[in-house]
A and B are shown apart, each in its own frame.
Chain A
Amino acid sequence: MLEIQRINKTYEDQPLLQNISFALGKEETLCLLGRSGSGKSTLLRIIAGLEPPESGRILWDGQDLAGTPVHRRQFGLMFQDYALFPHQNVLENVAYGLRMQGQPEDEVKRRSLEMLEAVQMRSFARRQVTDLSGGEQQRVALARTLAPQPRLVMLDEPLGALDRSLRAELLEELRALLQRFKIPAIYVTHDQEEAFAIADRMALLHNGRIEQIGPPKTVYRCPASPWAARFLGLTNLLPGRLQGSSAVETACGTLVIRRQTCQNFQPGQTVTVLLPPRVRLAQPGTVNQISGVVSDLIFQGADYSVTLKLDSGDTLHFQIEDEIAAGSRISVEVDPEEINLLEAE
């Protein structure tokens, strides 16, 4: 299917994309995750053919697409703010791609209405797109992108501008649609929760490079770098030094680790220690006790979000189910199974 090989692109003499390579399997949804300005949208534009890469190749079924213009690639691209044609109504927008394929008019209409049905917008067919709400526009844009049955769809922050509850709802629908149409997809977002929800695999884009690529679970369990960990919301990072094979020395004492889950380090090597977000109050006599003062406490329903200020001055964030009081001094215990070692910063 789609294969991206060593794509490079600079913007105003700054490297924007460096050596980007990945492949996309059949019916697979890949999430491109990165901060804004990390080159995600540019990568989509390059894949779509709207911009040429400076070097590198884009292959489809082993065929180089360099000579294939945008409109022959059959790649759908949904822009961030949808780019609906303001001079056409909803139906005309959705029908656009089918018309370009030269389908007979009644077929165009039938298929467009079908697509609108699929996104629950059939009753809006004759409305002007400029009169639609954000969620409605998003649905129309999705229908428009899928209508011509592209062999790949690319979605650029499709839910970016929408409110939280609508986002959850649309995300669900989107996943269902992608599965139903069996189309490989590249989904660009800056929100890791969205990515976890929809991705078969996710790729983290950082400083123009792919920092890590893999299934969401793997990426979350084993972030490739401290940056990747932070980006995924894993903020409990401490510098440390590996002692032997099952202990690591940190500012809050020596912690026992069971095994090295993700990467292998040599004894004596400096590392970054990643502690899990979910812990419980320490029982007497257990290993890996970390103590500190509760500097902030937020009730979250099922548990508390606790900011723990260590004696060393570092702060860590934990989710704790037990009842505790702000300002009190507590100790928590960390399961050796859940400690990960990452490269030193």
Chain B
Amino acid sequence: MRLARRVWLWALPLLFLGLFFYLPLGRILIITGQAAIETGLRPSFGAQLLRTLGFTAGQAGLSTLLTLLIGLPAAYLFGRFRFPAKRPLQLLFTLPFILPTVVAAAGFNALLGPNGWLNWGLMRIFGLSQPPVMILNTLTAVLLAHVFYNTSVVLRVVGSAWAQLDPRLEGSARTLGASPWQAFRTVTLPLLRPFILAATVLVFLFNFTSFGVVLLLGGPKFATLEVEIYIQALQILNLPAAGALSAVQLLCTLIITLVYTRLADRRNIPLTPRLESEAVQPLHSLPRRVFAALVIFLLTALLLLPLAALVLRSFSAVNADGTLRLTLDFYRELFINRRQSIFYVPPIRAALNSLGYAGLTVLISLSLGSLAAYALRESSRLNRVLEPVLMLPLGASAVTLGLGMVMVFNRPPFDPGSFPLLLPFAHSLVALPFALRSIQPALRSIPPSLGQAAAVLGASPGKVWRTIEMPILARALLVSAVFAFTISLGEFGATAFLARPERPTLPVAIFRYLGQPGELNYGQALALSTLLLIICAVSILLLEYLENRARQK
């Protein structure tokens, strides 16, 4: 009975992944593998692979470390304290995650580029003739951009857990003689461990498979496996090499997820969920205020300034003498199909396309993610095998998967042209592990006694779910909904492959403008990016409102 139930819970997520991930990926890997055996790989391939792998893992590790270094204090601040403007800040700090890398790169350029704000300011202040800060096309730029993208992952996954952790546990430790640090190390940290691990593995995998950031901000000296796959597959047209690289990347992902499952597979620690107000305190002492100011300053500098530079840039045009003037031209131009192009799309339509896909992605990944989280609720050997299966899509190369998908789904009704769900399905592949990672620890933290208590009070299993688990899970569901939504909204790689040209998403439309010279094109790309940011912010607000209502019901 138990087993039968679990099999049923597993069935849909596995069917989904099997059909839309493992089938296309397997197909392309088999084909390229056969080609590799027939033709053989270059002798220098091995050395190049090792070098790339070393850099990929190294930068991912370093980026993850930096992200945690900034994300954990931020999670503490947002999980444990209340302060003015907390909600809007939280919202703003989520935004970087949705930016397509081309746009983020534009933001970084506007801020840190040779002609960016920072250099402009420094040159003014110190009367320099050359820009003093040259970090574009260096490892520093890659690390900064990864921190920019992923801090919100740590903030959301760990922060929401921290807010629900009983503050009395730490208080107990303190009265038993533990210094603040000892109390953190021996009580808070072990209890947050599953959440920190989850955030770490997500961030690491994101960095490990990083493409746009490394390509656009790292410059030609650096290449991750994913960049190398792109070069081999789409520039040099060496598919066997691309396939081999993809296989290596997938293998690494598998190893990482296996290690993670191993580490995470400890006893469940049920925590009595707490109301947020119970754990949240005002910032009443000076050291805490200084800490808060420092964290917010850092987050603002790293996460918001690139966004601000981008937004400001979308409102300013360059005069012939190099000075700037404020203008709405770029926004106005968005609504004009000047060249009567058949592919022109009004911004509203592109936004609606994006929102539609994102909404479907939320629906699919939350449904499947919840099912999988329930299936994983009781740890068993079966789960230990199946969990990495769910996580693997995070490590798949977008290029390879995209090629696999167009191969497998190549005739109506399942080709990209006539099967509009293919795109949200592809987005859900990436969003699913995030949903699972957010829902699962929350579900595990609900003591079984709660459900039992409700059952004794006469609640049917469905009612138990709706009245007890759902309100407690609401927070986690919101976190995963925001993840799924933002992943879908900002996704570009798979979208470029699968979106129908007459139904482009915002990132695709942005990319079209960026591909051509001329100030208006660049300006329109930035204007559209600003619209993307606004739409994302409004949507997250709406999701939070819905969650609040769901919780109060």
User: Do A and B touch, yes or no (CB under 8 Å, in the complex)?
Assistant: yes
A residues adjacent to B (C-beta < 8 A): 45, 48-50, 52, 69-77, 79, 81, 83, 85-87, 96-97, 100-101, 128, 130, 144-145, 148, 150
Interface size on B, residues (CB 8 A): 27
Residues B176 and A96 in contact, CB atoms below 8 Å apart: yes
Residues A148 and B177 in contact, CB atoms below 8 Å apart: yes
Residues A86 and B171 in contact, CB atoms below 8 Å apart: no
Residues A144 and B176 in contact, CB atoms below 8 Å apart: yes
Residues A128 and B267 in contact, CB atoms below 8 Å apart: yes
Q: How far is the CB of B95 from chain A (nearest CB, A)?
A: 32
List 19 additional A-B contacts (Cβ < 8 Å) besides A71-B175, A71-B176.
A50-B175, A69-B179, A71-B174, A71-B180, A71-B182, A71-B183, A74-B177, A76-B175, A77-B171, A81-B272, A83-B168, A87-B269, A97-B176, A100-B176, A101-B177, A130-B270, A145-B175, A148-B177, A150-B175
Residues B172 and A77 in contact, CB atoms below 8 Å apart: yes
Contacts of A97 in B (CB 8 A): 176-177
Closest to B175 in A: A77
Closest to B169 in A: A83
Contacts of B272 in A (CB 8 A): 81
Docked pose: A145 CA to B174 CA in angstroms? 11
Contacts of B447 in A (CB 8 A): 130
Asked if A71 meets B172 with Cβ closer than 8 Å, knowing A83-B166, A86-B271, the reply is no
Residues B177 and A87 in contact, CB atoms below 8 Å apart: no
Give the residue of A72, A85, A130 whose beta carbon is less than 8 angstroms from that of B172: A85
Closest to B189 in A: A87
Whether, in the assembled complex, B173 has its beta carbon less than 8 Å from a beta carbon of chain A, the answer is yes
Residues A71 and B177 in contact, CB atoms below 8 Å apart: yes
Contacts of B168 in A (CB 8 A): 79, 81, 83
Docked pose: A69 CA to B181 CA in angstroms? 12
Residues A48 and B182 in contact, CB atoms below 8 Å apart: no
Residues A76 and B176 in contact, CB atoms below 8 Å apart: yes
Residues A52 and B284 in contact, CB atoms below 8 Å apart: yes
Q: How far is the CB of A102 from chain B (nearest CB, A)?
A: 9
Q: How far is the CB of B188 from chain A (nearest CB, A)?
A: 10
Residues B171 and A79 in contact, CB atoms below 8 Å apart: yes
Closest to A75 in B: B175
Contacts of B166 in A (CB 8 A): 83
Q: How far is the CB of A104 from chain B (nearest CB, A)?
A: 16
Docked pose: A81 CA to B171 CA in angstroms? 13
Docked pose: A100 CA to B271 CA in angstroms? 24
Q: How far is the CB of A307 from chain B (nearest CB, A)?
A: 34
Contacts of B174 in A (CB 8 A): 48-50, 69-71
| A-facing residues in B273-288 (Cβ within 8 Å) | 284-285
Q: How far is the CB of B474 from chain A (nearest CB, A)?
A: 22
Closest to B193 in A: A87
Q: How far is the CB of A132 from chain B (nearest CB, A)?
A: 12
Q: How far is the CB of B192 from chain A (nearest CB, A)?
A: 10
Asked if A70 meets B191 with Cβ closer than 8 Å, knowing A83-B168, A85-B169, A86-B271, the reply is no
Residues B171 and A71 in contact, CB atoms below 8 Å apart: no
Docked pose: A49 CA to B166 CA in angstroms? 18
Residues A70 and B187 in contact, CB atoms below 8 Å apart: no
Q: Interface digits, B146-182 against A, CB 8 Å rule (1 contact, 0 not)?
A: 0000000000000000000010110111111111101
Give the residue of B178, B190, B270, B271 whose beta carbon is less than 8 angstroms from that of A71: B178
Contacts of B115 in A (CB 8 A): none
Closest to B281 in A: A51
Residues B191 and A86 in contact, CB atoms below 8 Å apart: yes
Closest to A87 in B: B190
Residues B178 and A100 in contact, CB atoms below 8 Å apart: yes
Whether, in the assembled complex, B186 has its beta carbon less than 8 Å from a beta carbon of chain A, the answer is yes
Give the residue of B172, B186, B271 whose beta carbon is less than 8 angstroms from that of A79: B172
Residues B176 and A86 in contact, CB atoms below 8 Å apart: no
Residues A83 and B284 in contact, CB atoms below 8 Å apart: no
Contacts of A148 in B (CB 8 A): 176-177
Contacts of A45 in B (CB 8 A): 171
Closest to B178 in A: A100
List 3 A-B pairs, minimum CB-CB distance, nearest first: A97-B176, A100-B177, A70-B174
Contacts of B186 in A (CB 8 A): 96
Q: How far is the CB of A336 from chain B (nearest CB, A)?
A: 50
Docked pose: A130 CA to B191 CA in angstroms? 14
Contacts of B180 in A (CB 8 A): 69, 71
Contacts of B187 in A (CB 8 A): 85, 87
Docked pose: A77 CA to B179 CA in angstroms? 15
Asked if A71 meets B191 with Cβ closer than 8 Å, knowing A50-B171, A96-B186, A128-B267, the reply is no
Q: How far is the CB of B173 from chain A (nearest CB, A)?
A: 7
Q: How far is the CB of A338 from chain B (nearest CB, A)?
A: 44
Q: How far is the CB of B268 from chain A (nearest CB, A)?
A: 9
Give the residue of B172, B183, B191, B285 whose beta carbon is less than 8 angstroms from that of A52: B285
Docked pose: A97 CA to B272 CA in angstroms? 23
Give the residue of A52, A73, A96, A128 whose beta carbon is less than 8 angstroms from that of B173: A96
Docked pose: A158 CA to B90 CA in angstroms? 38
Contacts of A81 in B (CB 8 A): 168, 272
Give the interface centre of A52, A71, A150 by most chain B CB atoms within 10 Å: A71
Closest to B173 in A: A96
Contacts of A144 in B (CB 8 A): 172, 176
Q: How far is the CB of B366 from chain A (nearest CB, A)?
A: 28
Q: List 10 A-B contacts (CB under 8 A).
A: A45-B171, A48-B171, A69-B180, A71-B174, A71-B177, A72-B177, A77-B175, A85-B173, A100-B176, A130-B270
Residues B179 and A86 in contact, CB atoms below 8 Å apart: no
Residues B285 and A87 in contact, CB atoms below 8 Å apart: no
Closest to B445 in A: A86
Contacts of A73 in B (CB 8 A): 175
Residues A87 and B191 in contact, CB atoms below 8 Å apart: yes
Closest to A92 in B: B186
Docked pose: A212 CA to B208 CA in angstroms? 66
Residues A86 and B177 in contact, CB atoms below 8 Å apart: no
Docked pose: A321 CA to B448 CA in angstroms? 50
Contacts of A96 in B (CB 8 A): 173, 176, 178, 186
Contacts of B178 in A (CB 8 A): 71, 96, 100
Give the interface centre of B173, B270, B284, B447 by most chain A CB atoms within 10 Å: B173
Contacts of A49 in B (CB 8 A): 174
Contacts of B191 in A (CB 8 A): 86-87
Q: How far is the CB of B292 from chain A (nearest CB, A)?
A: 17
Docked pose: A48 CA to B270 CA in angstroms? 27
